[in-house]
Amino acid sequence: MNLFEHELEERRIFRDMSILSPHYVPQELPHRDKEIRGVTKIIAPVLRNEKPSNLFIYGGTGTGKTCVVKYVIRKLEEFLRSPGRDLRDILVRVVYMNCKIRNSKYQVLLKTLEDDSLNDERLKNIPLEGRTERSLKGMDPADLYDRLFNVVQSNGMNLIIILDEIDMVKKGLNDLMYILTRINDELSSGHVSIIGISNDRRVKSRLDPRSRSTLCEEEMIFPHYNAIQLRTILRQRIEHGFRPGTIDDSAIRKIAAFAAQDGDARYALKLLQKAGEIAQSKLKTRVDLDDVGMARHLVEKDIMTESIALLPEHQQIVIYSIAHLALKGGLYQRLSGISTGDLLTGEVYEAYEANCRALNRNPRTMRQFSEYLNELEMSGLIAMRLSGKGIRGTTRLIRLGYPPDEIIQIVRQSLGLESG
DNA sequence: CATCCACCGGAAATAGGGGGGC
DNA sequence: GCCCCCCTATTTCCGGTGGATG
The domains found in chain A, sorted by start residue, are 33-222 (3.40.50.300), 226-301 (1.10.8.60), 311-415 (1.10.10.10)
According to DSSP, the residues that pair with A242 across neighbouring strands are A14
Which residues from 131-150 of A have any strand C atom under 7 Å from their CB? 138-141
Separation in Å: B14 C1' and A372 CA: 20
Spanning CA of A135 to C1' of B7, the rounded length in angstroms is 43
Whether any strand B atom is under 7 angstroms from the Cβ of A137: the reply reads yes
Distance of alpha carbon A88 from alpha carbon A136, whole angstroms: 31
Task: Give A195-249 pLDDT, tens digit per residue.
Answer: 999 988 777 877 777 888 888 899 999 999 999 999 999 999 999 999 999 999 9
How many angstroms separate the CA atoms of A225 and A64, rounded?
9
At A57, which helix (H) or strand (E)? strand A55-59
Q: Is the pLDDT of residue A375 over 60?
A: yes
**CA of A345, C1' of C15: distance in angstroms:** 20
* Residue A347 Cβ under 7 A from any strand B atom: yes
Mean predicted confidence (pLDDT) in A112-135: 80
Contact between A398 and A343 (Cβ < 8 Å)? yes
Report pLDDT for A337.
58
CB A219 within 8 A of CB A87: no
Q: Which of A52-66, A96-110, A185-199, A330-344 has the lowest mean pLDDT?
A: A330-344
Burial (CB count <10 Å: 0-12, 13-18, 19+), residue A242: buried
What letters, b where the CB count within 10 A reaches 16 and e where it falls short, cover A171-189? ebbbbbbbbbbebbeebee
Distance from residue A227's CA to nucleotide C13's C1', rounded to whole Å: 53
Q: Measured from the CB, is A364 under 7 Å from any atom of strand C?
A: yes
Indicate the length of chain A as a whole number: 420
- The three-state (H, E, C) secondary structure of A261-309, written as one string: CCCCHHHHHHHHHHHHHHHHHCCCCCECHHHHHHHHHHHHHHHHHHHHH
> Is residue A390's beta carbon less than 7 angstroms from any atom in nucleic acid strand C?
yes
Q: Residue A313: name the closest of A374, A355, A367, A366 by CA.
A: A355
Pair A76, A162: CB distance under 8 Å: no
Stated pTM of the model: 0.87
Does the CA dihedral A293-A299-A168-A401 come out positive or negative? positive
According to DSSP, the β-strands at A55-59 and A382-386 are unpaired
- The residue lying closest to nucleotide B4, measuring its CA against C1', is A393
Give the model confidence (pLDDT) of A300-354 as tens digits: 999 899 889 888 899 999 999 999 998 887 666 666 555 667 888 999 999 999 9
A418 touches strand C (CB under 7 A): no
Sign of CA dihedral A354, A356, A362, A365: negative
- Give pLDDT, residue A338: 59
Bridge partners of A152, per DSSP, are none
pLDDT of residue A10: 58
For residue A363, give the DSSP letter: P
How would you classify the pairing of strands A158-164 and A92-98? Answer: parallel
The per-residue pLDDT for range A252-268, each reduced to its tens digit, is 999 999 999 999 999 99
How many whole angstroms separate alpha carbon A241 and alpha carbon A296? 20
Nearest nt by C1' to A390 Cα = C19
Q: How many other β-carbons are positioned within 10 Å of the β-carbon of residue A104? A: 17
**Using CA atoms, how far apart are residues A294 and A375, in angstroms rounded to an integer?**
30
Return the pLDDT at A77: 94
Nearest nucleotide by C1' from A365 CA?
C11
Specify the 3-state DSSP secondary structure of A138: coil
How many Å from the CA of A364 to C1' of B15? Answer: 14
Strands (E), A153-253: 158-164, 191-198, 218-222
A107 touches strand C (CB under 7 A): yes
- pLDDT tier, A420 (very low <50, low <70, confident <90, very high otherwise): very low
CB atoms within 10 A of CB A20: 20
Q: Is the CB of A390 under 7 A from strand B?
A: no
Q: Which residues contact A303 (CB under 8 A, 6 or more apart)?
A: none
The answer to whether the beta carbon of residue A367 comes closer than 7 angstroms to any atom of strand C is: yes
Q: Is the CB of A396 under 7 A from strand B?
A: yes
Rounded distance, CA A299 to CA A307, Å?
A: 12
Per-position DSSP letters for A192-203, written without gaps between them: EEEEEEES-THH
Q: Counting beta carbons within 10 angstroms of the beta carbon of residue A377, is it exposed (0 to 12), middle (13 to 18) or buried (19 or more)?
A: middle
